[in-house]
Chain A
Amino acid sequence: MANKFIHAVYDDDDKLLDAVKDLKENKVNIEEVFTPFPVHGLDHVMGLAPTRIAIAAFLYGCVGFTFALLMINYIMIVDWPQNIGGKPSFSFQENMPAFVPVMFELTVFFTGHLMVITFYLRSRLWPFKKAENPIPETTDDKFLIQIPIYGNESKIKSILKKTDLFKMSVIDTKKENNEEIDNVQSNVQDQNLEITIGFVFHSRKYSDGSSNLRIQFTKGRGQQYAKNSGLRIFRKHWISKKNEVSDKHADYIKINKSLNALKTNIEKAKNKFSNGSIDFDDVYKSIIN
């Protein structure tokens, strides 16, 4: 298995399809494609073999049908034949029409459940299973191609740069710092260790009109994330120049006190980051615990 991967991210299903086609034409090995919804024709373009789950389903149906047949025959004919309304009771054949509903239901029951269980096991889906999509946006509106690198990095990159890329990053499972390339400036990123940390409000408001105050971390142009500060504040009383709340806010002394504590933590975290002692993705940990 390769230790290094390229993650090419697209923001549109048609752009993704074109890119996969280009990569396939250039005989680039695509390990995996993550999409938020089934992209029509993707399996065909990727050259995935058709799924055999329907064949399995048919076999499960046969099992269910046979099970029903044997069970009813044993119970109603072999073990304890009964005279029910004078109907024939000692021969399966003559009694069979009355068994059709249950035979049908059991066939469907076996087919449906065993097929779904097969699907879950083959696709490795079960409770407590950890999700494996590399970036969370692939369940929302981003499409990601994962390409393993076996010394052909520059070739793959040049192919990808010609496609309608949203973002590209190189992931090295051995190294800590991963290179990230934006479509806008596809040449080498400035490796500055400057980060900015600021306060933003969450876009969703609570029913009382307040909203969560979040801390936003930005590095360069590409990387950004936000974390909840744990404070819930009325936005109208926020003084953005000072990063504190005005005295009209309820409990303003308490809130400003905790804001000050956060600010000192932010300064400490910035220093730690420029020393190189923590990763960008872990900066928030030294601020919010």
Chain B
Amino acid sequence: MGSHYEAPIRKPLVTGNKSYHQISVDVARPIEGVANKKWWIVFGISLILFMWGIGCIIYTISTGIGVWGLNKTVGWAWDITNFVWWIGIGHAGTLISAVLLLFRQKWRMGINRSAEAMTIFSVIQAGLFPVIHMGRPWLAYWIVPIPNQFGSLWVNFNSPLLWDVFAISTYLTISLVFWWTGLLPDFAMIRDRAIKPFQKKIYSLVSFGWSGRAKDWQRFEEVSLVLAGLATPLVLSVHTIVSFDFATSVIPGWHTTIFPPYFVAGAIFSGFAMVQTLLIVMRKVCDLEDYITLQHIELMNIVIMITGSLVGCAYITELFIAWYSGVEYEQYAFLNRATGPYWWAYWAMMTCNVFSPQFMWIKKLRTSIVFSFVISIVVNIGMWFERFVIIVTSLHRDYLPSSWTMFSPTFVDIGIFIGTIGFFFVLFLLYARTFPVIAQAEVKTILKSSGDNYKKLRDKK
């Protein structure tokens, strides 16, 4: 057992005296069982929200973007706020699966599958907004550099919006293959346990005939490692490029060099908050408290605390630089943010993102499940307000005071946003009932080093 040694000071990551077989049974249980009433209720509500969102999207496309609350001064508002919010949420998954893999953090094993699922589902939501905002979404393929009937009409490779097209499509597809490759052995486990013929057929199909040969595993591990090495700069690049959408413009409040690291930290912050929200519920509902332990929740809280502090640092730096630059437009943009008509949004952002995570310094609070859940919701709200503040308050009072205005969303703006939340939960709830939500093959590799039973056995010696 020498090769399975782990320092006794490290807390167990798998509790409840598990054997390899027990892990399979626990992971397969939500798939093999039947959905309870609560699942159907939540699924029903999500589906209704999703349908409402689809209605609003159809209304927007058939009537025009005029049905949104945009005006000639504020030409970007809820749509791009929601886009950046969803993209940000989508950052935790790859961070957990890629960056934590490179750092050999064993606690990622319990949560990476769901975090990656969350990433893919939220990037899908994010992608909807630019496509809808195009006005004619059936022409969305025009953003791809393909030879066309208009002569030498190409997309502009100098534009951050086009960089975004490449960044987000690469991010979505790479995350998808990373996720699916990791799923193969787990689908195979479900396939080999399945007793219903239909279930067996479906899981045979999606497991791609995975058999678990030694050579397959060797390649599997190498592919995971290289993909992690690729996904790490990728995840940083995606939100960097999203921030370029703003930073390369000449709008006071947007035109700052701090945007890329500030956006990346914010993305990780909001992503972890969403993972926390989802997993605190899922571990309870799917009976997975032995795999997503209090230790996992505490570590995620620490990440939330650190990234929250980084974001807070960025907010203050922005204010300082605005003052220090001596540019009066820049100074006004920030003064207006904090004390102008949208002061409430600014202070909601400050309270939710900078002050609330500071409670996590206290051990008692960061190991409290209820408190963690509340803070995760607060952070989700705060990060939405951050994007709203950056976008709307920088635009609504521009260089020309005669065109100063306010933005208020219409029911369509709100409906589409609510609809994406519904769509996200529809996907996540379906996932939770049909996919192995814990990367069981990977958890089995750390059982002997981080399982509570094995740790106790070593302590006795």
Contact = CB atoms under 8 A, between A and B. Distances in A.
A221 B390 CA distance: 71
Contact of A75 (B20, B154, B188): B154
B205 A127 contact: yes
Interface string B141-175: 00001000000111111101011001101100110
Contacts of A128: 205, 209
A36 B189 contact: yes
Contacts of B215: 43, 48, 51, 123
A127 B81 CA distance: 38
Nearest to A78: B152
Given A102-B157, A139-B188, A140-B192, A132 B209 contact: yes
A37 B444 contact: yes
A26 B455 CA distance: 34
A133 B192 contact: yes
Contact of A79 (B152, B214, B441): B152
A51 B219 contact: yes
Given A99-B157, A108-B230, A113-B177, A136 B192 contact: yes
B34 A125 contact: no
A137 B234 contact: no
Contacts of B223: 53, 115-116, 119
Contacts of B154: 75-76, 79-80
Given A43-B214, A140-B192, A124 B209 contact: yes
Given A76-B154, A136-B192, A139-B189, A36 B444 contact: yes
Contacts of B188: 131, 133, 139
A40 B445 contact: yes
A125 B184 contact: yes
A130 to B, nearest CB: 6
Interface residues of B, number: 75
Nearest to A226: B195
A57 interface: yes
A261 interface: no
B174 A131 contact: no
Interface string A195-226: 00000001010110000000000000000000
A111 B230 contact: yes
B82 interface: no
Nearest to B158: A98
B218 interface: yes
B160 to A, nearest CB: 8
**Best-buried of B162, B206, B441 by chain A (most CB within 10 Å):** B441
A34 B220 contact: no
Nearest to A80: B152
A131 B211 contact: yes
B227 A112 contact: yes
Contacts of A112: 170, 173-174, 177-178, 227, 230-231
A105 B221 CA distance: 23
A201 B441 CA distance: 28
A130 B204 contact: yes
A130 B160 CA distance: 45
A132 B225 CA distance: 25
A273 B243 CA distance: 72
A184 interface: no
B219 A141 contact: no
Nearest to B23: A141
B218 A48 contact: yes
A91 to B, nearest CB: 14
B442 interface: yes
Nearest to A135: B192
Contacts of B208: 120, 125-127, 129
A132 B227 contact: no
A219 B21 CA distance: 23
A247 interface: no
A32 B441 contact: no
Interface string B26-67: 000100111010000000000000000000000000000000
B217 A39 contact: yes
B237 interface: yes
Nearest to A123: B216
A122 to B, nearest CB: 7
B157 A72 contact: yes
21 contacts: A34-B211, A34-B214, A35-B214, A48-B214, A50-B218, A53-B219, A71-B145, A72-B157, A75-B145, A84-B158, A85-B158, A102-B162, A105-B166, A108-B174, A113-B173, A123-B213, A123-B219, A131-B210, A133-B188, A136-B193, A207-B36
Interface of A: 13-14, 32-43, 46, 48, 50-51, 53-54, 57, 71-72, 75-76, 79-80, 82, 84-85, 87, 95, 98-99, 101-102, 104-106, 108-109, 111-113, 115-116, 119-120, 122-133, 136-141, 202, 204, 206-207, 227-228
Given A54-B222, A105-B170, A126-B208, 8 more contacts: A42-B214, A75-B155, A80-B154, A105-B163, A108-B174, A133-B188, A133-B212, A207-B36
